[in-house]
Amino acid sequence: MKMELWRNLMKPITIIKTGKTFPDLIDKNGDFEDWISRGIGLPNSEIKIVNAESDILPEPDQIRGAIISGSHAYVTDNLDWCLRLEHWTKMIIDNQMPLLGICFGHQVIAKAMGGIVDFHPISLEIGTKEIELLPSCENDPLFTGLPARFKVHLFHSQSVIQLPANTTVLARNEFEPHQAVRVGKNAWGVQFHPEANSAATRGYIQNLLADVKSADYEPDQLFEQIEETPYSASLLKRFVELI
């Protein structure tokens, strides 16, 4: 038993990179995988970055857990690499390996397991917003003990419209009923961005200013509402501790 535990601990936490953020944000603070790596808080030797667009995705027995990043791609585009990722995601979940999907990754998990993803019927959701945890979090190993309400960073235009079977909704807000879910026992999806900080959210509002205005948001108000989101950020370390 001790040898099996040791072998598992020697396997990496795998970050599945599914795209790039805006160039100006990369220049200032790195890319999606860098944000996630910093949030995890493990040495680089314990983290493996896999590019879903070009790399071979690892077998379940090669990892001890995985995080699927956000992306500027759309799940509904059914790109070849994304369809491969969906197949891999289902295999990981079927093998009960710990998995966390962030925004696009959250949507990939839902679609891979039979849910429906599409553009949100209202508009994009962007900025620092509050989410509400549901009573289901009381027995959830990732969310238990967190406050009933806390702030998160959000920037997305697609959502999980219909949940797959065997899914528990963990968090919501007025805009998005599926802010956090658990699929089965070991897979979680969050529509928000626990890896993002205030600078990232400010950068997304600036880069998407035309979309923000067309969605009838007031940019100055969004900028004023930006703040750090420590409870959201804690989910990355919580996920690693859970593994």
Q: Is 176 a catalytic residue?
A: no
Is the Cβ–Cβ distance between 36 and 15 less than 8 Å?
Answer: yes
Q: Is 137 a catalytic residue?
A: no
Pick the catalytic residue from 33, 82, 103, 106. 103
Q: Is 193 a catalytic residue?
A: yes
Structure token pair of residue 85: 């990722």
Its sign, for the CA torsion 213, 217, 219, 223, is negative
Residues acting as catalytic residues: 103, 193, 195
